[in-house]
Amino acid sequence: MKLRILALALALALLLCAPLAVADNSYEGTLEPIDASLNQKMALRSGPGTNYTELGTYGQNTAITLYEQEMGGTVSWGQVEFRADGGLVRAYTGMKRIYTEKDVPWANTATRDAVLLCDVTPKRGPGDNYAPCNKTLKEGAKLTLYHEENGYVTADFTYPGDDLLTRAWIPADDVQVNLY
């Protein structure tokens, strides 16, 4: 009887640990590009929702690559990549503006809290070939991290004095994940 209880407890412990491993592994990795085009002008936000900073509107002929979709309020937003502002840009637009023949994966929305270790000018994507944001984020800023790719993390934050969130990419070495 004691052996059965011990085996049951061990099996339960393994089941409880399994989802944590899956969520942790999906935090990192390269997002797969999806061929897509626009069916109308592309109004952009830095993140998936109207509570994120506006990045402007681009013409229907803008060449885009689609990566994933995420719910923001009651609307599905697509993370797209295109060339502008002296480099590549990843940003969000409503999925209703995007045409693709492929299935679009849903973003992993698991988060990690973190703090910025030094002053940084965030990027509009995961690498040096992406356009920089127009402001510097100061050391000590609180971040919510979503994804790590190519040595950068996707982070939500608010610049001092701004009411809206900004989502941008920060070098992973410049953040400390809160472990509490």
Mean pLDDT of 53-74: 97
Report in angstroms the alpha-carbon separations of 90 from 84, 98, 124, 127: 10, 14, 6, 11
Q: Give the whole-angstrom CA distance, residue 81 versus residue 69.
A: 13
Name the percent of the chain lying above pLDDT 90: 80
Q: What is the mean pLDDT of the chain?
A: 87
User: Any idea which residue has 């809206």 for tokens?
Assistant: 164
Quote the CA–CA distance of 129 and 13 in Å, as a whole number: 44
Distance CA 48, CA 46 (A): 7
Q: Cα(83)–Cα(87) distance, rounded to whole angstroms?
A: 6
Strands across the sheet with 142-149, in order?
166-171, 152-157, 142-149, 112-116, 175-177
pLDDT of residue 6: 41
DSSP secondary structure string for all residues of 135-147: SPBPTT-EEEEEE
pLDDT digits 0-9 by tens, 9-40: 444 333 333 332 223 334 678 889 999 999 99
pLDDT at 140 over 80: yes
pLDDT tens digits, one per residue of 88-116: 999 999 999 999 999 999 999 999 999 99
